[in-house]
């Protein structure tokens, strides 16, 4: 039985009572046990909210209004989204935007998913600058060019403010040298066959290198 399924008539008004409050998960969460009655039906319901939310509501046992009940339901959904977000972060770093997208994919409303991601960032569980630096390091180990690195980071959903730091991270990188290393790794030396040479340039472009960097890499190898 939910509020929408209960008659709001004068004869059968909805009564909602908090029956018990119990801390769980070492005090991180609060279990709220409720009783919903409308004269004809009754239902016991348990909702879990964070201790932070519990303190915000200042809940006590006894009757509550429908408005407070709806607030507790919304808080419980946010609590579930926070726990889902923590679980996703345990598998790897996420930007706020990427985590929001994943939580929406798990069935949470976008506004709830976004709030959960922002709160987790506020708790220090998401650090976009640190995570982007690590992601750049992984890309450089794969010998990616700057264009591919930039495109990859945008797909990760890093905020515009975070992406502004990318230039500083890459300005000391010698991409021509990296491109030369990639050519040696895949081809051994610069191909002399015209068709193979064209295919090599196309492949290096897909790795994110500019034509200028590719030409400089070829020049380095030929020297």
CA–CA distance, 168 with 175 (Å, rounded to integer): 14
Cα 8 to chain center, whole Å? Answer: 40
Model confidence band, residue 223 (pLDDT cutoffs 50, 70, 90):
confident
Q: CB-hemisphere CA count at 13 Å for 4? A: 0
pLDDT in tens, 153-175: 998 888 888 899 999 999 999 99
Span 192-205, average pLDDT: 95
* pLDDT at residue number 199: 95
Of 31, 24, 63, nearest to 47 (Cα)?
31
A 10 A CB-CB count for 166 gives 18
Show the tokens assigned to 18.
């908090």
- At 24, give phi and psi (nearest 5°): -150, 170
Q: Using the predicted structure, report yes or no on whether residue 9 has a pLDDT greater than 60.
A: no
Span 33-41, average pLDDT: 90
Of 116, 117, 111, 74, nearest to 94 (Cα)?
117
- At 104, give phi and psi (nearest 5°): -60, -40
* pLDDT at residue number 7: 45
* pLDDT at residue number 160: 87
A 10 A CB-CB count for 76 gives 19
* pLDDT at residue number 93: 85
Q: What percent of the chain has pLDDT over 70?
A: 95
Report the DSSP beta bridge partners of residue 36.
Answer: 16, 43
The CATH 1.10.10.10 domain(s) of the chain lie at 3-122
pLDDT in tens, 39-86: 788 899 999 999 999 998 889 999 999 999 999 999 999 999 999 999
Q: pTM, whole model, 2 decimals?
A: 0.71
DSSP state of 6: S
Specify whether the CB–CB gap between 22 and 7 falls below 8 A: no
* pLDDT at residue number 39: 79
pLDDT in tens, 99-123: 999 999 999 999 999 999 999 999 9
Model confidence band, residue 10 (pLDDT cutoffs 50, 70, 90):
very low
pLDDT in tens, 134-149: 999 999 999 999 999 9
CATH topology of domain 3-122: Arc Repressor Mutant, subunit A (1.10.10)
Through-space distance between the first and last CA atoms of the chain, rounded to whole angstroms: 79
């Amino acid at each position: 039985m939910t509020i929408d399924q209960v008659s709001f008539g004068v004869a059968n008004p909805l009564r909602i009572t908090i029956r018990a409050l119990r801390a769980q998960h070492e005090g991180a969460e609060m279990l709220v046990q409720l009783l919903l009655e409308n004269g004809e039906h009754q239902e016991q319901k348990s909702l879990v909210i964070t201790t932070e939310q519990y303190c915000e509501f200042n809940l006590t046992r006894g009757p509550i209004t429908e408005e407070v009940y709806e607030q507790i339901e919304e808080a419980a959904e946010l609590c579930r989204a926070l726990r889902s977000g923590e679980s996703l972060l345990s598998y790897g770093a996420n930007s706020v935007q990427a985590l929001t997208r994943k939580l929406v994919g798990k069935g949470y409303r976008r506004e709830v998913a976004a709030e959960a991601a922002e709160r987790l960032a506020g708790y220090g569980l998401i650090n976009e600058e640190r995570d982007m630096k690590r992601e750049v390091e992984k890309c450089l180990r794969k010998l990616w060019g700057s264009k591919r690195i930039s495109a990859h980071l945008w797909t990760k959903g890093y905020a515009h403010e975070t992406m502004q730091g990318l230039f500083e991270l890459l300005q000391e990188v010698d991409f021509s040298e990296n491109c030369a290393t990639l050519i040696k790794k895949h081809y051994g030396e610069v191909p002399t066959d015209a068709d193979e040479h064209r295919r090599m340039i196309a492949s290096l472009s897909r790795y994110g290198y500019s034509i200028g960097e590719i030409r400089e890499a070829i020049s380095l190898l030929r020297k």
